[in-house]
């Protein structure tokens, strides 16, 4: 008998990120705690939740990792997928959502939901943020959830915000504006199976003409 639960509550924590690392950690901890108190079973934080979104800040916030590699090459970065009691999930970071093949490979390996912590700006955000999420959801007939930082004060990096959950049908299940917020959504994995039954693109793929290969 399968132990996979068909439904679970997802929370996306759209938190403000500043130049005080300890405050960022405290803010994130409080948001995750609040989400858990509201019965969230899976919680996502945004990209760069513990430091400002700026390469000039990274040396200041960097920490040593004992016994870990100092330099990594592409082969050290396999796709990130993990099993949960609710089904397999895949993770991409921000710009990764622009590459359909990555999402397709994660679907091929069994992902039912893709999580994309990201920080689109005020140019790419309104044009592409929701569009790309809906495209990846419909392409792969699964849920897509993208978590952004809240928009910061004027003068710093301006994140678009609008953390969003998209259904396999391409509908917006839940979203928010650009301020601090926790977005909650019920994820019903039966909708993934229903979509794949009713529009069986996986079974109808022309593998005689093209092939998706992971290297």
Query: What pLDDT does residue 5 have?
Result: 57
Given a contact cutoff of 8 angstroms between Cβ atoms, the answer to whether 112 and 192 are in contact is yes
Query: What pLDDT does residue 71 have?
Result: 57
Q: Which domains does the chain have, with CATH numbers?
A: 7-52+74-198 (3.60.110.10)
> How much is the pTM?
0.92
Given a contact cutoff of 8 angstroms between Cβ atoms, the answer to whether 8 and 86 are in contact is yes
Distance CA 63, CA 79 (A): 24
- The interaxial angle of helices 100-108 and 130-140, nearest 10 deg, is 40
Query: What pLDDT does residue 66 have?
Result: 81
Annotation says 47 is catalytic:
yes
- Beta bridge partners of residue 83, listed in sequence order: 88
Q: What is the mean pLDDT of each run of 10 residues along the chain (215 residues)?
A: 73 95 95 99 96 82 75 67 96 98 97 98 98 99 98 82 99 98 98 96 93 89
Active-site residue, from 37, 69, 75, 215 = 69
Active-site residue, from 13, 48, 88, 94 = 94
Query: What pLDDT does residue 60 have?
Result: 82
């Amino acid at each position: 008998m399968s132990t996979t639960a068909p439904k679970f509550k997802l929370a996306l924590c759209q938190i403000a990120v500043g130049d005080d690392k300890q405050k960022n950690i405290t803010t994130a901890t409080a948001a995750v705690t609040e989400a858990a108190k509201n019965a969230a079973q899976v919680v996502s934080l945004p990209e760069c939740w513990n430091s400002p979104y700026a390469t000039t800040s990274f040396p200041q916030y960097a920490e040593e990792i004992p016994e870990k590699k100092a330099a990594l090459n592409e082969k050290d970065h396999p796709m990130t997928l993990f099993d949960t009691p609710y089904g397999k999930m895949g993770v991409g970071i921000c710009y990764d959502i622009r590459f359909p093949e990555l999402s397709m490979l994660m679907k091929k390996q069994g992902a039912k939901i893709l999580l994309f912590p990201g920080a689109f700006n005020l140019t790419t955000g309104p044009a592409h943020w929701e569009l790309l999420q809906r495209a990846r959801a419909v392409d792969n007939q699964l849920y897509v959830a993208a978590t952004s930082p809240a928009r910061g004060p004027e003068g710093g990096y301006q994140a678009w915000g609008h953390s969003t959950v998209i259904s396999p049908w391409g509908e917006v299940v839940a979203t928010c504006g650009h301020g601090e917020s926790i977005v909650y959504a019920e994820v019903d994995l039966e909708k993934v199976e229903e979509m794949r039954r009713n529009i069986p693109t996986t079974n109808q793929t022309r593998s005689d003409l093209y092939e998706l290969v992971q290297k």
